[in-house]
């Protein structure tokens, strides 16, 4: 799969916005490059609740979020490796939990809302 060139820090108006909401309700709006992953977008915007220890290799589960219910069906489905990793993330939700390193940002994700878990393990 070809990926769009990826330039963190470059922001323009066509770039999708993703909202990360902490447990206490604090909202962070992140402008994210098309072609990057939601995890990379969080990292580049310094969202503290996303650790991403493995750097996006689907080898840990520390970029776990709960997707806003309105968005769950609008994301590409999970592959089996992601599901397996999520089973043992912190308090996973069978429908809403995702690993952000496995979600590629497209124009269609503009406005995505995700909730951060209480902790990452």
Partner 1 sequence: MPEQIVIVGAGQGGFQAAASLRQNDSNARITLIGEEPGLPYQRPPLSKSFMKDGDPARLLLRPKTFFEKNQINLVEKSRVSFIDRAIKEVETKSGLRFPYDHLILATGARNTKPPIRNVEAHGLHDLRTLADATAMRSAVGSARHAVVIGGGFIGLEFAAQARAAGIEVTVVEMAPRLMARVVSPGISHLFADMHLAMGTQLVFGQPAVEILSTNNGVASGVLLADGTELEGDMVLLASGVQPNTGLAAAAGLEIDNGIVVDHMLQTADPAIFALGDCAAFPEFCSGKRIRLESVQAATDQARAIARNLTGNPAAYDAIAWFWSDQADWKLQIAGLPKENGETHLIRRNHNTATALWFSDGILTCAETVNAAGEHMAARRLLASGLPVTRSDLEMHEYRLTDYLNSTLKAP
For partner 1, the binding residues (CB under 8 A) are: 3, 5-9, 36, 40, 43-44, 46, 48, 53-61, 81, 83-85, 87-89
Of the pair 16, 61, the CB lying nearest partner 1 is at 61
Of the pair 43, 98, the CB lying nearest partner 1 is at 43
Alpha-carbon separation of residue 82 from 7, 43, 71, 100 (angstroms): 26, 19, 18, 10
For the chain, report the end-to-end CA distance as a whole number of angstroms: 30
Of the pair 75, 89, the CB lying nearest partner 1 is at 89
Least Å distance, CB 109 to partner 1, is 18
Q: Are 36 and 8 in contact (CB under 8 A)?
A: yes
């Amino acid at each position: 799969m070809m990926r769009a060139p990826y330039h963190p820090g470059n922001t323009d108006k066509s770039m999708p916005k993703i909202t990360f909401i902490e447990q206490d309700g604090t909202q962070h709006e992140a402008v994210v490059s098309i072609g990057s992953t939601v995890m990379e977008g969080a990292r580049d915007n310094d969202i503290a609740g996303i650790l991403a220890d493995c750097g996006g290799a689907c080898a840990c589960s520390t970029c776990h979020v709960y997707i806003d219910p309105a968005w769950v069906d609008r994301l590409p489905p999970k592959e089996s490796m992601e599901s397996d990793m999520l089973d043992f993330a912190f308090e996973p939700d069978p429908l809403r939990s995702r690993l952000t390193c496995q979600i590629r940002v497209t124009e269609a994700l503009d406005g995505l809302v995700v909730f951060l878990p209480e902790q990452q393990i």
